[in-house]
Structure 1
Amino acid sequence: MELSHANGEFALDVFRALCKESEGPRPSSLIISPLSISTALAMVYLGARNKTQEEMGKVLKFGQVSDVHSHFNSLMEKITAPSSYTLNLANRLFGQQSFNFSQEFLGEVQKKYLADLQAMDFVSATEAARGTINTWVEDKTENKIKELLKAGVLTPMTRLVLVNAVYFKGNWMHRFKPENTKEKPFKITKTETRPVQMMHQKQKLPHNWVREPNLQVVELPYTDPQLSMAILLPPEDTLDTITSLAEELNIFFARFEVQPPDTAIHNTPGYSSHSLVLEEQQVMSKLTISKLLEWTDPSNLRRQNVHLHLPRFKLESSASLAGTLTVLGMGSLFDCSSADLTGISVDRGLSLSALAHGVVCEVNEVGTEAAAATVDICMTVSIDRTLIFMADHPFLFLIMHKPTRSILFLGSYCGPE
């Protein structure tokens, strides 16, 4: 639990940072795999020393975890245990042939992360090495992620590539009937809509109404109750104030204040007449992993009859996280003059030159299929009635492994591009 909490805190930091980076004239959808990013970086952390180790531990929130690597090993075992869903988690090291890697590091990363070392020739066959790594990622993600490493990412100076791949496929416990899927407008902003294929079902589902910061939460269980998707939906009237994805996310945790009497009141039962206070210094500062876990905790979810309207969508995201992690405080890891990865190799000068992360997630009537890969390169409603959950405007969603409270995928859907 302590590792899942640490990984969750780190995930929100990365998600917020990426949202900030992608600010534009309209909200942009985004998805990451916190499990994939944290696992890949944890393998690097195993070989980090001194300042680099301290920086990574602080950013990754590992200070609150007693034995990081043993906990990761246990977490991976629990998440990938045989079940009715498919969840593959694979790690691999690709290292320059004849490079002086620490045998202790290789032994520990194999023991804790089940990651073997594959010898590569980055010096004279850089592109061939890139092809080999991309093929491995494609295979481990059931052909969902292709060409994770773009041309030019690897160079003859590359010495080590650490890869984590995650593939998930799960069917809904309550499938949507395809004949109920209709084209509907999705409100991207107050003045802009785009058509989506809107799925619909009436079902008794776990539901929570969080009075502050005023949002609905609904849980969609998969056939295996260990996994579920939670959708966090703000009230539609917040579109009046949405100008960027960062502000869209801020609706989940910004403070509210009562509007003057002449202000239009949202007419959905359970909502109060509040308006968003979007202070620049508070943007995305209130959402914490503790709050997120509280809102989605089974004890706070009550089974309700719900008219659920959810878009059928497919998201693809790719990001180079080196700049993001540097801003978060992991700068020395990417600086060849200050990185200390002597736990990986006694040879000085080894640093991380890139960190690539790619995710594909598809949600349809049957269920969810999602894949991710990360590469390191050296209130409850008290009345029983049918509720309307209309996800026709931007929302946040996450796929969680419930026994460990681990977030496998975290995303925001802001409409079709």
Structure 2
Amino acid sequence: MMAQSHSFSFVYLEDLQAKIVGIPYKNNELSMFVLLPNDVDGLEKIIDKITPEKLMEWTNPGQMETRNVSLHLPRLEVQDSYDLEAVLMALGLGNAFSEQDAHCSGMDPHSKLQAQRFLHRCFLEVTEDGTEAAEATSMTFTVSSDSGYEYVHCNHPFLFFIRHNESKNILFFGRFSSP
């Protein structure tokens, strides 16, 4: 576990029996949020109540308070890949995969290019040195005294997401099941 006692954005969600802590990066353009249920099996009980709209509401600066937080967070690495062909076809981009209908003359006017596969691969690593995702950012952890702090010990399943603060867009979203 990495540990840090510091002033962070914090909200306690009484109805969900969970807390959210917001961890800003050095440039304050991005923040990582951790949603930790109180109970060890609490995530399963609340997962259906979590929507993108609720996440935006709960992490709104007017909703969260700056609090002293004692945060214990596991080092984590998440990576996965997704075949997006079905998603793109559902969005109306199926022609790109059709030999007859693909129109890629902007890339090569003399060949009959068509998309064969469209994969998305994501990688996220959180360590003491910071968070590495599509580009390197920084989040430094140190150990210090935690008296008078909200206690956020991520020793059971939790959700995390990285948000671009100005646009409120969620860039990465994940579930950590086995800290």
SS at match of 2:178: coil
TM-score by length of 2: 0.75
1:63-142 superposed matches below 5 A: none
Q: 1:388: which partner in 2? A: 151
Deviation of the 1:213 alpha carbon: 3.1
Match of 1:233 among 36, 54, 79: 36
Q: 1:220: which partner in 2? A: 23
1:11-410 superposed matches below 5 A: 198-238=1-41, 248=44, 251-254=46-49, 287-323=50-86, 325=87, 329-330=90-91, 333=94, 336=98, 341-342=102-103, 344-345=104-105, 351-371=114-134, 385-410=148-173
Give CA-to-partner distance per residue, 1:30-65, whole Å, 9 cap, x none: xxxxxxxxxxxxxxxxxxxxxxxxxxxxxxxxxxxx
Q: 1:341 to 1:288 in 2, by over 3 A?
A: farther
Deviation of the 1:238 alpha carbon: 2.8
CA distance in 1 between partners of 2:151 and 2:128 (Å) = 18
CA distance in 1 between partners of 2:9 and 2:101 (Å) = 48
Deviation of the 1:341 alpha carbon: 4.8
What residue identity is the alignment partner of 1:293?
M
Give CA-to-partner distance per residue, 1:267-299, whole Å, 9 cap, x none: xxxxxxxxxxxxxxxxxxxx4322111111111
What residue identity is the alignment partner of 1:298?
P
Deviation of the 1:407 alpha carbon: 2.0
Deviation of the 1:211 alpha carbon: 2.4
- 1:199–1:365 CA contact under 8 A, matched in 2: yes
Q: 2:138: which partner in 1? A: none
Give CA-to-partner distance per residue, 1:219-264, whole Å, 9 cap, x none: 111111222111111232435xx7xxxxx4x72443xxxxxxxxxx
What residue identity is the alignment partner of 1:212?
D
Deviation of the 1:351 alpha carbon: 5.0
Q: CA RMSD in A?
A: 3.0
CA distance in 1 between partners of 2:12 and 2:58 (Å) = 9
What residue identity is the alignment partner of 2:98?
C
SS at match of 1:415: coil
- 2:9–2:21 CA contact under 8 A, matched in 1: yes
- 1:229–1:400 CA contact under 8 A, matched in 2: yes
SS at match of 2:62: helix
CA distance in 2 between partners of 1:288 and 1:408 (Å) = 15
Give CA-to-partner distance per residue, 1:198-227, whole Å, 9 cap, x none: 111222211011223332110111111222
Same amino acid, percent of matched pairs: 34
Give CA-to-partner distance per residue, 1:322-363, whole Å, 9 cap, x none: 24x16x9347617527x8554x4499x865431111122111
What residue identity is the alignment partner of 2:58?
W
CA distance in 1 between partners of 2:65 and 2:149 (Å) = 12
Give CA-to-partner distance per residue, 1:85-129, whole Å, 9 cap, x none: xxxxxxxxxxxxxxxxxxxxxxxxxxxxxxxxxxxxxxxxxxxxx
CA distance in 1 between partners of 2:84 and 2:4 (Å) = 38
CA distance in 1 between partners of 2:114 and 2:35 (Å) = 39
Please state which structure has a larger fraction of its residues in strand: 2
SS at match of 2:82: strand
CA distance in 1 between partners of 2:15 and 2:114 (Å) = 44
Match of 1:413 among 165, 176, 179: 176
Q: 1:208 to 1:336 in 2, by over 3 A?
A: same
CA distance in 2 between partners of 1:316 and 1:393 (Å) = 20
